[in-house]
Structure 1
Amino acid sequence: MGDIDAEWADGKGSSQEFSYRGNRLGLPRSGSGSVPGFGRRIAAVLLDWLLSVAAAGLFSGADPAQTANTALLVFAAQNVVLLSLLGTTVGRGMVGIRVVATGERRLPWPVAVLVRTVLLCLVVPAVVYDRDQRGLHDRAAGTVTQRI
């Protein structure tokens, strides 16, 4: 558990500490730099996935199993390359969000992005999240998703 969650587990936290998603990370309530809502995040992932499936279809032909496997590889490669270089992917950029490092990040940026991407591709870590809407993939990588 992180330090913040350990305080809550120990009963030291109060309801005053959490007033909106991102406040414990020092992020604004709304606007640029704030934590985006669930809908915006899902839209970004769906856009990235659709682009990956379209690209995979060009390479894998008509075999659906091959297309799905290739799409996952394209999705992962897209995430690693674009997040490492730009902090956003095509889908995230279209909905106005980016991924940035938090003060707790201990890994070099490309390694953090790789860890985040592997966990995102496993799906479960992405749907298990805390009050700040940081999935396990973001917590493990020391990143947070913000609005642009």
Structure 2
Amino acid sequence: MASRGDLGSWLTGGSVPTGETGGRDRLGLPASGAGSRAPLGRRVVALCVDWALAEAISFGFFGRDPMVTLAIFAVMNLILVSSVGSTIGHRLLGLQVRRLGVEGPHLVGFGRGTVRTLLLCLVIPPVVWDADGRGMHDRAAGTVIVRR
């Protein structure tokens, strides 16, 4: 048996289907378009672009040392995400890392950027994500990757 709460109310305006005016997801982000959560495919491609750049820099200056590549990747992520909100891979794919639930400028900052980068480099946190599609590194830092 359906109750009044199941059907919505004219007082609350009822429910608005996702994608129409007022459509927001559980994080309060737009359901689509600029500012909406970035799809997994784009995030993975951006990560691959960033890793390839770190690998190229490592190989060009230091030989093929995986720990140097990881260090370069970490420094690139820390500096770029903390200061401008996106790595080179994010920028090429139209993505941005933003603080979640903050009005005005959404810059991540050095502290959150450090937490996010350290967990990202551990590999396991980024591949374990929640129902909202955020990896553990983004949850711990209070960030989300969105479309620009």
State whether residues 83 and 109 of structure 2, in contact with CA within 8 Å, keep that contact through their aligned partners in structure 1: no
Match of 2:83 in 1: 85
Match of 2:97 in 1: 99
Aligned length: 123
Question: Secondary structure of 1:70's match?
Answer: helix
Greater Rg by CA: 2
Write out per-residue CA displacement over residues 86-135 of structure 1, whole angstroms, 9 at most, x where no aligned residue. 1001001001101000138xxx8211100000100111100111111111
CA distance in 2, matches of 1:37, 1:88: 15
**Alpha carbon RMSD of aligned pairs, Å?**
1.9
**Equivalent residues in 2 for 1:50-89 (5 A)?**
50-61=52-63, 64=64, 66=65, 68-89=66-87
Cα offset, 1:41, TM superposition? 0.4
Q: Compare relative contact order (CA 8 Å, sep 6+) and give the higher one, 1 or 2.
A: 1
**Where in structure 1 are there 5+ consecutive unaligned residues?**
1-15
- Are 2:99 and 1:126 equivalent residues in the alignment? no
**Equivalent residues in 2 for 1:130-141 (5 A)?**
130-141=130-141
Question: Secondary structure of 2:30's match?
Answer: coil
**If each structure's helix is expressed as a fraction of its own residues, which one has the higher value?**
1
Q: Which amino acid aligns with 1:100?
A: R
CA distance in 2, matches of 1:27, 1:139: 15
Question: Secondary structure of 1:100's match?
Answer: strand
**Equivalent residues in 2 for 1:26-65 (5 A)?**
26-61=28-63, 64=64
CA distance in 1, matches of 2:122, 2:58: 19
CA distance in 2, matches of 1:146, 1:37: 8
Q: Which amino acid aligns with 1:118?
A: L
CA distance in 2, matches of 1:121, 1:31: 29
Aligned identity (percent) is: 45
Question: Following superposition, which runs of at least 4 residues in structure 1 exceed 2 angstroms of deviation?
Answer: none
Q: Which amino acid aligns with 2:125?
A: P
Q: Which amino acid aligns with 1:76?
A: A
Equivalent of 1:25, from 11, 24, 27? Answer: 27
TM-score (norm 2): 0.78
Cα offset, 1:84, TM superposition? 1.2
CA distance in 2, matches of 1:26, 1:55: 38
